[in-house]
Amino acid sequence: MKSKPDIRQITFAALVGALYVTLCYFGNIFGLSFGIFQCRFAEALTVLPFLCPTATWGLFAGCILSNIISPYGLPDLIFGSLATLIAGLLTARCKNKWLAPLPPVICNALIVGALLAWSETGFTAAFPGLFLFNAVSVGGAELLVCYVLGIPLLELLDRTKVMPHRLA
């Protein structure tokens, strides 16, 4: 039976959410946080549920707050944030740190890729091609951020033992 999160884990989740928002808003200054060619530095944090599953809720809250300024409006606020929640829940179940970035990559490629294609064309004949393009674009940027920034972050936090202990 899993134990309840302690105050340290809840505090960590809140800090992760705040850092996610900060990094997203910072990236938005350079036009990197939204759109077809998005490269959200904040997505590097999506590997953290591997070490601390409660970080999932901080990521979810941070994504909701970040998507408030999305040019894609309410659909991005709902579905983009749900992509992060699903990815966090799946990442927390990963047994290998090298697989931890895959749920965010796959969830964002599929869900955000579909959202972007739908916002451009609706469900027309152009949707499948545009979806494929957006899924590769968003997924590729997510892959880059999660492996180039996320894995070293995961390694550093795991090695320094500053993370709350992983829940059983």
Q: What is the pLDDT of residues 39-74, one digit of tens each?
A: 788 999 999 999 989 999 999 999 999 999 888 889
Q: What is the pLDDT of residues 73-94, one digit of tens each?
A: 899 899 999 999 999 999 999 9
Question: What gap in Å lies between CA 138 and CA 6, rounded to an integer?
Answer: 35
Asked if residue 1 has pLDDT above 50, the reply is: no
Count how many Cα atoms sit within 13 Å of the Cα of residue 80 in the half-sphere of its side chain: 28
Do residues 87 and 104 lie in contact, with contact meaning Cβ atoms separated by under 8 Å?
yes
Question: What gap in Å lies between CA 139 and CA 80, rounded to an integer?
Answer: 13
Q: Which of 70, 99, 64 is nearest to 82 (CA)?
A: 64
pTM of the predicted structure, to 2 decimals:
0.88
**Tokens (6 digits) for 132:** 């494929």
Question: What gap in Å lies between CA 9 and CA 68, rounded to an integer?
Answer: 26
